[in-house]
A and B are shown apart, each in its own frame.
Chain A
Amino acid sequence: MSKIENKAENGSGEGVEKGTADDPKDDKGLGLGVIFFMVAFLVCFLSGWLLFPKLLYSKKEQPFNFDHKLHVAEVGDCETCHFLREDGTFSGLPSMESCLECHTDEPMGETKDEAIFAREYVAKEKEVPWLVYSKQPDCVFFSHAAHINGAGMDCITCHGPIGESTTSRPYEENRITGYSRDIWGKNIWGIKKHSWDRMKMDDCAVCHKKETGQQGYCFQCHK
């Protein structure tokens, strides 16, 4: 018999002995093992679901706080600042030119945010480098004209009640993909309560399937 075969035989023999022996010593070891497993599972589980999302997203503050509620009260609707251009493209966030239709480098109100706006951006003739929460990846083509004019949808369906906000929340950026957290959604489990909770491709597809009867082909929304 070769050395290796000897070893194998001895090894398996030991294993059998341990497994069949039922003295109280082994029971104690089993209990400790279960506790260790439970603790390790809990630590991994919690760090995966609570700590990792915090690590995954970096937080950035907007240049200054923007009060949507105040502006909606003043101008009346979303379309005054976020409008469709005549060629059908969407203006997105307003440029300084739009702001200056009302604002001057003298603040109109008392807030310190407007003071920053007037001093740092209007006076220096600089565009405000807003961080766009709903910015989609580069490969996505989204037509606002098709959804607003074509399908008659309102802004809230996808963007939520952002018009009622008084403060700008921090912009959260996925450290791996560089995408805004609004694309994946706040809920790390992927649970969706409102139509505006997520902006993934699947969310587009679900609505398209429901409303048009088909998900559409790739080029409909990609470029």
Chain B
Amino acid sequence: MIQDKKEHKFGMVIDLDKCTGCGSCMVSCMSENNIPFKEDESRKKDSITWMRVYKLTNGKSFPDIQIAYLPRPCQHCSGKGGHGHSPCVSVCPATATDYGYDTGIVSQIYTRCFGCRYCMGACPYHARYFNWWDPEWPAGQEKYLSPNVSPRMRGVVEKCSLCYHRYQAARDKAYYEGRDDIEESEYQTACTTACPAGAIVFGDLNDPSHMVHQIVKPDPHPDPMNKYVVDKSRNPKVFRLLERLGTNTKIYYLSEREWVRKAGDNYLDGEWDKVKNHHGSSSK
């Protein structure tokens, strides 16, 4: 039987200098994953955006002001020490969300979720959304929904799955062709393929032949400053959101600009200068 001989760790790196904030990733995500849109999408407590683009500014006034856009899918935390204890997985009383040890993807099973929303409270990235209403589509549009993603009913939580159905489809093809594993190009998320700027790179962080591994260069050793932080990037331009929490997210961000990298976490006065040049033990 074909088993996953190799452990994957799927993740992405998003180049914030390339991102123009156009929102293609958000649109492609919604249509790919059967996410219903609301009459008033500006009501952010009601709208559901698995992928959401945030706007960052450096806080300065003209002519020094700079803008950056930060797309935020589910960060697929590996948890402290990378053992799979993601914040949301740890608190779910229904085992409706769990950690896939052979993919590194955090699942969400809608039929198992009963809507307590502990996971939403636990998630430091606001990546989870609650269905306050049953999904509604304009008449006839339900016929165009993707059959590979099950729609969600009211009363359950949903979030980005890194287009897991595309992984399933790629594996199906590999099984049919008698291959042991899938190619990098066979499994790409909807947002990655939709980005017109090519700002999103997706792949297996464990596979040195994948582009995402080559950009991120994840450090195999735990961070000497915090033993719970693993897979820290050895690329000085790459950072993760709230990295020092030890959530060990698999969504990395890339920027040449220091103020953008600084925006990835909250720093006390003088703290940033100690942190900014520290990128994993082996780059010291």
Contact = CB atoms under 8 A, between A and B. Distances in A.
Interface of A: 84-89, 137-139, 141, 143, 145-146, 149-152, 211-212, 217-220, 222-223
A143 B2 CA distance: 13
A185 B267 CA distance: 59
Contacts of B109: 139, 218-219, 222
Nearest to A149: B175
Interface of B: 1-3, 95-103, 105, 107, 109-112, 148-151, 161, 164-165, 168-169, 171-178
Contacts of B97: 218
Greatest chain B CB density within 10 A among A87, A146, A223 is at: A223
Contacts of B3: 212
Given A139-B110, A217-B101, A218-B107, A146 B171 contact: yes
A87 B176 contact: yes
Interface core residue of A87, A137, A151, A219 (most chain B CB under 10 Å)? A219
14 contacts: A85-B176, A88-B169, A137-B111, A146-B175, A152-B1, A211-B1, A212-B3, A217-B101, A217-B102, A218-B98, A218-B107, A218-B109, A219-B107, A223-B149
B2, B172, B174 pick with most chain A CB within 10 angstroms? B172
Given A150-B2, A217-B99, A219-B105, A143 B168 contact: yes
Contacts of A152: 1
A218 B150 CA distance: 14
A150 B4 CA distance: 11
Contacts of A150: 1-2, 175
Contacts of A146: 2, 171-172, 175
Contact of A223 (B98, B150, B174, B176): B150
B175 A219 contact: no
A66 to B, nearest CB: 25
Given A86-B176, A87-B176, A152-B1, A143 B171 contact: yes
A212 B168 contact: no
B150 A212 contact: no
Given A212-B1, A223-B150, A149 B98 contact: no
